[in-house]
Amino acid sequence: MVDYYMKHKAEHGKDYYQLTNTNLRNFKLENPRIVKFIKRLNIITREGFIKFCRAYGIQIETPKIFRFIYTEAMKGTVISLSYKGEKTDL
């Protein structure tokens, strides 16, 4: 269900990011709890999470991490992600 939504409904770079190859390898080095044998990792954004829940009629409280990122962004705090060597500020 999630994989189908990501491939057909979600917008890459807005609703989610997909890490593969070197980017995934670097991410695994920084996050040792990630399973070593996976070949790709989808990271869903707050907007993507909300769209996914709406699409499947899921009513759930927004996870704390999304509330933290949104609150800090509203305060003017810059939160950065790195994807394919490009720095993205949230």
pLDDT band at 22 (very low <50, low <70, confident <90, very high): very high
Summarised one tens digit per residue, pLDDT across range 61-89 is 878 777 665 544 545 444 444 444 444 44
Token pair 């996050």: residue: 31
Query: Is the pLDDT confidence value at 7 over 70?
Result: yes
For the purposes of burial, counting CB atoms within 10 Å of the CB of 54, is it exposed (0-12), middle (13-18) or buried (19 or more)?
exposed
Summarised one tens digit per residue, pLDDT across range 23-63 is 999 989 988 888 889 998 888 888 888 898 898 898 888 78
Mean pLDDT of the chain: 76
